[in-house]
Amino acid sequence: MNFWVFFIGVAEILIALTIGVFIIYLSFQILSKLVRDFAVIDKLRNNNISVAIVIGTIILSVIYIVRSAINPAVTVLTMLFKNPKADYSTFFSGFLIILIQIIVSAVTGFAGIYIALRLYMWLTKDLHEMEEIRNNNIAVGIVLAFVIFAVALLLEPGINTLLQSMIPLPSVNFREIYR
């Protein structure tokens, strides 16, 4: 058994679970605050399926985007544990990079979805989506859910590239290599 691969696998699972639970909870809390007049918890208690579809899709979309932070985080973690010269400051800076990557992916994903949703609702002036969702119009909830997830699919590659740029890689001096 390859100890390093096993250790990285366990670390990846722990990171994913921690990020997942925290981001899901935080997303729900932020959504509840952003749409206060919507009374999300009351709507859910009253079996408003349309609200459930939209809120669930936003949470799923943010998690889909934050998932992009897991691979770079595991890369940083692997680099830390395989570095024989790593000390406490190296580990601290590595974990700081991982934390920044998670925060950047969550904030960028949530903000991107929120802005795109607002823009979409502004463009469709003849349909008042939030009022329809408040009134449990499931068809509007489903369409809005697809819009939200489509935006997440479009945002994820760019956010992934942004996160990859935060991984400190050793510089390569091509002049030295090709001498």
- The domains of the chain are located at 3-167
Tens of pLDDT, residue by residue over 88-121, are 887 788 788 888 888 888 889 889 998 998 899 8
Find the Cα–Cα–Cα–Cα dihedral 8, 11, 12, 18, rounded to 10°.
-170
What is the sign, positive or negative, of the torsion defined by CA atoms of 26, 30, 31, 33? positive
pLDDT of 170 reads 61
| Model pTM score | 0.77
